[in-house]
Amino acid sequence: MSLQSINPANGQVIQSYTAMSDAEVDAIIDEVNRAGNGWRNTDFSIRADLLKNAAKVLRSRKAELSRLMVAEMGKTYTSAEGEVDKCAWVCDFYAEHGEEFLAPEPISSDASLSKIVYNPLGTVLAVMPWNFPFWQVFRFAAPGLMAGNTGLLKHASNVSGCALAIEEIFAEAGFPNSVFRTLLISSDKVERVIENPAVAAVTLTGSTPAGRAVAGKAGQCLKKTVLELGGSDPYLVLADADMALAVETCVNSRLINAGQSCIAAKRFIVVQECVDEFTQRFTELMASKKMGEPSDPDSDLGPQAREDLRNDLHKQVTKSVAKGAKLLLGGEIPDGPGAFYPPTVLGDVTAGMPAYDDELFGPVAAIITATDEADAIRIANDSNFGLGAAVFTRDTERGEFIAAEQLQAGACFVNSLVKSDPRLPFGGIKNSGYGRELSHLGIREFVNTKTVYVA
């Protein structure tokens, strides 16, 4: 069986990779497990130096790695460069703070000494998606390696070149052999890897169905999981919002990575008082964005990652229109090669439409009218997802209260687009998953939080 990388801008095959046999996979898992016996005992200072080396490698190879992302999944070159920079940042962040985050914690008890210590779990399997082919991996790998774990990567098959490049980066940085390895396998082989006794835990970023499957198998094997799944992030625009800021931020968030981001804005919930102004200005700005060849610096968005994904997105648009949504912009598959889909705006979106109920993983915006602030909050929470959310209001104290106490999501922002940051915990609730990545919480997900008691 072969795994193909196909350029989504023109449909041409970039390269085919031979999938690994079961025997090859077992051998790699065994090598990684044995490498972990030494790695878990290395000093934090050694791990930190190697992570800093990885950051240097990333920066030195930025142009090459950016071109690879552009070719394999169609993100614009500018956004690809930013992704490489962010990966270097997360390596430096955990190199600087990892030892502090995992320092022993004294606890007062009836013992002469009691404390909490954090020990590595072992080999962590990462099942990763194609939309941020480097960032999704490094935000698991940097804290995991710093904690003393080893890593196995099962990446999306259409970004196999990126997967192998990540393995090369850690090797070039000087990490011991087999501390981090890539498995070139199809998705139907993941359960077999999870069953391997040498795999201690699993992290997955992907769709909700994929999360259910992985969590189910890991649960049967009693292995820890962290899941970062889909999102249908609501952006609330209240009557007193700075309209220029709200419109620009909402458009920018909707078009991140050509709309292919779990935390891109999906549902724009606007109070009745200002919905007409928002809709007009939002649609005009969306219309001004240029769709084109992702390597062109003038392109604001490139193609969707695969034609089947583009076609599924279009079906969601047409079904929403059939149920009464107004097509205000876009909504037509362009002629020519590639998996392109234009910036699209749907108005009068209501419950029961795919644009309201489901995740739209592409440059399609759903505008939903709320009668007032309370109704906007109700609509925002009327979702099976709970990854990110944002609220726009000039009353920042009120906005903070809504974000902190009333919106049901793992990351809630005020007057800003939702984004991931190594310093802040990242993850969702409901069908958007569980567990947290990044910050001090992320590095503690895959460790044994151990009580030590001395009488």
Taking only the tens of pLDDT, the chain with its 455 residues reads 899 999 999 999 999 999 999 999 999 999 999 999 999 999 999 999 999 999 999 999 999 999 999 999 999 999 999 999 999 999 999 999 999 999 999 999 999 999 999 999 999 999 999 999 999 999 999 999 999 999 999 999 999 999 999 999 999 999 999 999 999 999 999 999 999 999 999 999 999 999 999 999 999 999 999 999 999 999 999 999 999 999 999 999 999 999 999 999 999 999 999 999 999 999 999 999 999 999 999 999 999 999 999 999 999 999 999 999 999 999 999 999 999 999 999 999 999 999 999 999 999 999 999 999 999 999 999 999 999 999 999 999 999 999 999 999 999 999 999 999 999 999 999 999 999 999 999 999 999 999 999 99
Q: What is the pLDDT of residue 389?
A: 98
DSSP 355-399: HHHS---SSEEEEEEESSHHHHHHHHHSSSEESEEEEE-S-HHHH
CATH of 233-422, one of 3.90.850.10, 3.90.180.10, 3.40.50.970, 3.40.309.10: 3.40.309.10
- Residues labelled as active-site residues: 228, 262
Q: Are strands 150-154 and 123-127 parallel, antiparallel or unpaired?
A: parallel
Query: What are the helix (H) ranges across 196-263?
Result: 208-220, 243-254
Answer yes or no: are the C-beta atoms of 129 and 136 closer than 8 Å: yes
- 29 HSE (CA, 13 A, CB side): 24
In the chain, residues under CATH classification 3.40.605.10 are: 2-229+432-454
In the chain, residues under CATH classification 3.40.309.10 are: 233-422
CA distance 288 to 283: 9
CA distance 173 to 179: 12
Q: Which residues pair with 419 in a beta bridge?
A: none
Residues 6+ apart with CB under 8 A from 229: 204, 205, 206, 207, 208, 210, 211, 262, 387, 428, 431, 432, 433
Give the pair of three-digit tokens for residue 390.
Answer: 């944002």
Q: Which residues pair with 373 in a beta bridge?
A: none
Q: What is the pLDDT of residue 221?
A: 98
DSSP 322-343: HTT-EEEE--SPPSSSS-----
Q: Determine if the pTM surpasses 0.95.
A: yes
CATH architecture of the domain with residue range 2-229+432-454: 3-Layer(aba) Sandwich (3.40)
Q: What is the pLDDT of residue 139?
A: 98
